[in-house]
Amino acid sequence: MNSLRGCSLFLFLLCGLALVARAAEPDSETLEKLVVEAADRFEKAFADRDAKAIGKLFTEEAEYVDASGLVLHGRDAITAEYAAHFEVTAPGGISIEVVAIRPVGKGVLTEEGVSTFESPDGGPTTQTRYTATHVRQEDGTWMIASLRELEDAVMTPHERLKTLGWLVGSWQEEDESTIVRTTWKWSDNENFLLSEFSARDGGTVVLEGTHRIGWDAERKQFRSWIFDSTGRAVDGWWTEADDGVWRVRLSGVDAEGERIQTAATYFRDGADAIVIAQEDRSEGSRQLAGSSHRIVRQPPGPQTAATPEQKTSTDSN
């Protein structure tokens, strides 16, 4: 089976490793954490070449469809296929990149991502896109009910940027005199994340600017470009730490041509808040103090009702 030679089935197992549910429906942050932890457990099972342990991640009636259209029905068939695979192949390393997790009903979630298999002898690296459906069992555990491999992975920038999709929305930080507002949205072609930000002191705008995040295919990292109303322009690349914190090292120039740099971190504080910190800040030869800010998601504003004239125009179209 070609797909197993590419070791792409492992990727689907990452969320199905007996995720223990809480009494209430898990929120998106909890599900994401469980998926990441499960991915680590699956990689260990795969490294141990333990087909039985892999099979236990599936429901009894699970269905697996590989990229060629071959269908495996049931846990026993999946276990047997992995056992056969391990008998005829050398060990290899795997990594799993989860792109999106979506609850689609009570006790049901779907997952999208990319698996990467690297041969220990320097052979070709294999990547495969996938989707998986996970179902919560009566005992509260989560298991894989359906797996489907898609075409070899050629991920669009949008698919990769879904990892940072939690930025999308309107955010605000407010103290006694200053209000900082930030909005994030997808670009029209959805290949970039775009932000507009502003700071007001009293009723006066003291700073505003734009921030764009895209995928740098050469470096295989997210890249930021930031411009503000003082004339500063900086850019930098993102990395994700093991603790889930995203870091971006920014450097550029101010309006006078002096070099500026900072190391910014983005940490999700629950589903509706982000802590943004800056350290190692400098302008020219001057070292600047670090800072930390907590921004909170703002609810959508009220929609303006259409006037009779607008309704008539819409109806006529």
Instruction: Compute the distance between CA of residue 116 and CA of residue 144 in angstroms, rounded to an integer.
Output: 20
| Rounded Cα gap, residues 133 and 93, in angstroms | 24
Show which of 155, 190, 216 is a domain's final residue. Answer: 155
Examine residue 304 and state whether it is found in any structural domain, yes or no: no
Q: Which residues does 217 contact at the CB level (< 8 Å), separation at least 6? A: none
Q: Is 206 a member of any domain?
A: yes
Give the separation between CA 80 and CA 86, rounded to whole angstroms: 10
Domain boundary among 129, 155, 181: 155
Q: Is residue 313 part of a domain?
A: no
Structural domain that includes position 238: 163-297
Please name the residue that has the structure tokens 């039985």: 52
**Residue 260 maps to which CATH number?**
2.40.128.20
Residue 278, amino acid: Q
pLDDT confidence of residue 24: 60
Whether residue 25 sits in one domain with residue 143: yes
What are the C-alpha distances in Å from 279 to residues 72, 101, 260, 288? 52, 32, 12, 8
Residues 145, 15: one domain? Answer: yes
The verdict on 145 and 17 lying in the same domain is: yes
Residue 86 lies inside a defined structural domain of this protein: yes
- Inside any domain, residue 245: yes
**The predicted structure's pLDDT at residue 143:** 86
Distance of CA 98 to the CA centre of its chain: 6
Query: Is the same domain home to 187 and 47?
Result: no
By C-alpha distance, which of 261, 287, 263 is closest to 277?
263
All residues at 6 or more sequence positions from 152 whose CB lies less than 8 Å from its CB, including other chains? 67, 126, 127, 128, 129
Q: Do residue 187 and residue 80 come from a single domain?
A: no
What CATH number is associated with residue 53?
3.10.450.50
Q: Is residue 147 part of a domain?
A: yes
Count the domains in the chain.
2
Tell me which of 101, 123, 155 is where a domain ends.
155
Same domain, 200 and 268: yes
Do both 151 and 169 map to the same domain? Answer: no
- Residue 131 and residue 234 in one domain: no
Residue 311, pLDDT score: 41
Residue 98 in tokens: 């989860």
Report if residue 229 sits inside a domain.
Answer: yes
Q: Do residue 238 and residue 117 come from a single domain?
A: no
Q: Which helix (H) or strand (E) holds 197?
A: strand 193-201
Question: Are residues 55 and 144 both part of a single domain?
Answer: yes
In the block, which residue shows the tokens 């997952």?
111
Angle CA 167–168–171, to nearest 5? 75
**Are 21 and 57 within one domain?**
yes
Same domain, 134 and 49: yes
Specify if 240 maps to a domain: yes
Mean pLDDT in runs of 10 for the chain (317 residues)?
46 44 63 74 82 89 89 94 84 80 87 78 69 87 88 74 91 86 95 95 91 92 96 95 88 95 93 93 92 89 49 41
Buried b vs exposed e over 155-189: b needs ≥16 C-beta within 10 Å? bebbbbbbbbebbebbbebeeeeeebbbbbeeeee
